[in-house]
Chains A and B, each alone.
Chain A
Amino acid sequence: MAYGFATIYWRDMIRFIRFKTLLFASLLQPALWLAFFGIAMASNFDRLLAGAPVIPGVRVIGYLTFMGAGIIAMTTLFTSLFGGIVILFDKNWGLMREILASPMNRNHIIFGIGLSGITKSFIQAIIIMVFGLMLGAGFFVGYTPVQTVFSILGILAFVGMFALGFLFLSAAIAISMESPEGLQGVITLLTMPIFFASNALYPIDAFPEFLKVMSTYNPMTYLINGIRYFAIGPDFMAIGKHYSYTTGDILVSYLGLIVFTVLMFILAWWRFKKAIVT
């Protein structure tokens, strides 16, 4: 049963490609965020911060570049948290019974859904990067082609680990819930603090203490650190603040994501083991 997850993956990708409207919307949505919210905010921030002091020798980046990383993270968060919803539909339509009564190890359901979620997130992340570059985001500035490829792989490694963690969480919630409305409610409740208590749209240094603690241990913040490190560089200024990442910082962030993902897998594994679907 070593390839059971591939079967689940195959089916989920069929569904992803088959629903043309959903496919189109999911690809267009992040681009629209960047186009409307990004440009609107960037024009304001860049005007306000025009006279701010700069540290000599440190690159100053525009707001669009800064929040572009946040939009990649946000899109990954939303896509992943809603990625498990297919499990709830399968459960309610009786389709899950076929799978649960089959000899396939239940962990493969979780892995299959995880893998298809990662694929979707990769596609979206690449679209945002391309679109961001078209709008003038300063990603990969001064990189050689080899460095650019390496950086994209780095970003995808962060996006993939983060997506996997939240897909596990989503799967755990979905298998435990009865109604799609309930699931939607729970997920919306989760996205708010995770998204806003992070460094996606603004620096976290000026936050009140408890928000700062929340943000520091937020997987979203780890992901954004990683994306900025690879897309912009280890040393830059944005919104009047100096950002510098050491390789160690980035490794710690990635380790944080791994720990989060492992914890979420254990949660999903436990929920699936207990799942009764008739």
Chain B
Amino acid sequence: MPDQSDDTDVIIRVNNLEHSYGSFKAVDGISFTVKKGEIFSFLGPNGAGKSTAINLLITLLTLQKGEAWVAGYNVADDPQKVRESIGIVFQDITLDRDMTVWEILEFHGRLYNMPREPRRKRIEELLQLVELGGKRDERVKNLSGGMKRRLEVARGLMTRPKVLFLDEPTIGLDPQTRMKMWDYIRDVNSTGTTVFLTTHYMDEADHLSDRISIIDNGKIIITGTTWGLKNSLGRDHIYLETSDNERAIRSLRDLPAAGEIRAKTKGFNVPVTIDGTKALPGILDILRREGIEVTTINIHKPTMDDVFVFYTGKEFRDDPGARGSDINARQSGRRGG
């Protein structure tokens, strides 16, 4: 059945989606909508259920429970129509090692039935964009990891689809290429393509997205605009390290300007609803009266890290040190985050 909602602004609608592998619930009853023309992100650690959710939306997995519409078509009833409306960049390398760079793009364009002229033109544009112009006749197996990733992203951009799904698009890219990729994703978005992105990079979600859903253990924790989520944590965060953190937190609990104080490894974070520089003297007064010595002070606007920690109640599981194992997982098997 078609998407019967009156809201013509919505391009993806998901109602109570669930998916299990055996007894493991990878996606646990998520509902959300994506508006036409926006960049929407699933932000969460590896294993949160992001890729499973994407695989359901792009019709590679069959729906077990719940409903989903993409570009106005029901994912279960009209998979063919959904596939015609979308483009995908997979999380894993899915390139034929024995084909050349040019052949990979040509094959993809032909799969999507692009006419010859625009297809050839797009290939040239994209080869320039991802700086693989000099490698066009090189076989994929001779490319470096970063080049392969760039080629994959270029492939996902071959067709200008209504919705572009990007599953961890910048994994394994150097910072420069990442920035360039972000620019290009924004360019594509500005031509009217809705972008659905999964990422475990806070900065990526923050820089690119109009709206973000924080996802963990198969559930959506919260959805909002990037600024809305950050503002919901208070106007400023004052980070303090003191001689006695526990006592300091207790003595600041009744401070009128403070939200919920959260302990960090070496100090604690005090969210305030007024300008941090104005709130700070009062806080320091209280601590001085209690005889607590302050060793470090830092005032910052709430970041996506703060948002994530606040709403999931835990530090982000995927620290940079864990990224090595992430790359390995990409090569050995699939069904990542």
A residues sitting closer than 8 Å to B (CB atoms) are 1, 3-4, 6-7, 10-11, 14-15, 18-19, 90, 93-95, 97-105, 276-278
Contact = CB atoms under 8 A, between A and B. Distances in A.
Contacts of B92: 94
Contacts of A14: 99, 103
Given A94-B92, A95-B95, A278-B55, A103 B60 contact: no
B33 to A, nearest CB: 22
A102 B112 contact: yes
A3 to B, nearest CB: 8
A192 to B, nearest CB: 31
B60 A1 contact: no
A4 B111 contact: yes
16 contacts: A7-B110, A14-B99, A93-B96, A94-B92, A94-B93, A94-B334, A97-B90, A98-B108, A98-B111, A101-B59, A101-B83, A102-B108, A103-B80, A103-B83, A103-B111, A278-B55
B134 to A, nearest CB: 21
B15 interface: no
A99 B111 contact: yes
A99 to B, nearest CB: 6
Enumerate the 3 nearest inter-chain pairs by beta-carbon distance, A residue then B residue, closest first: A94-B94, A103-B84, A7-B110
Contacts of B83: 101-103
A102 B111 contact: yes
A276 B62 contact: yes
Contact of B90 (A3, A11, A90, A94): A94
A223 B96 CA distance: 35
B244 interface: no
A63 to B, nearest CB: 41
A100 B60 contact: yes
A11 B99 contact: yes
Interface string B208-249: 000000000000000000000000000000000000000000
Nearest to A275: B60
Contacts of A3: 110, 113
A12 to B, nearest CB: 11
Given A7-B107, A98-B108, A278-B55, A103 B98 contact: no
Given A94-B94, A103-B80, 19 more contacts: A3-B110, A3-B113, A4-B113, A15-B96, A93-B96, A94-B90, A98-B88, A98-B90, A99-B111, A100-B60, A101-B60, A101-B83, A101-B86, A102-B83, A102-B108, A103-B83, A103-B111, A103-B112, A104-B111
A95 B111 contact: no
Contacts of B61: 276, 278
Contacts of A10: 107, 110
A14 B94 CA distance: 18
A87 to B, nearest CB: 13
Nearest to B110: A7
Nearest to B155: A98
A97 B111 contact: no
A5 to B, nearest CB: 11
A7 B80 CA distance: 18
B60 A97 contact: yes
B108 A278 contact: no
Nearest to B92: A94
B243 to A, nearest CB: 53
Contacts of B113: 1, 3-4, 103-104
A105 B97 CA distance: 24
Nearest to B156: A98
Contacts of A90: 96
Interface centre among B86, B98, B107, B335 (most CB of A within 10 A): B107
Contacts of A102: 83, 108, 111-112
A59 B107 CA distance: 53
A99 B83 CA distance: 10
A109 to B, nearest CB: 10
A93 B86 CA distance: 22
A93 B94 contact: yes
Contacts of B84: 103
Contacts of A100: 60
A98 B94 contact: yes
Nearest to A15: B98
A19 B110 CA distance: 23
Interface string B53-68: 0010011111000000
Nearest to B51: A278
A5 B92 CA distance: 25
Interface centre among A1, A14, A278 (most CB of B within 10 A): A278
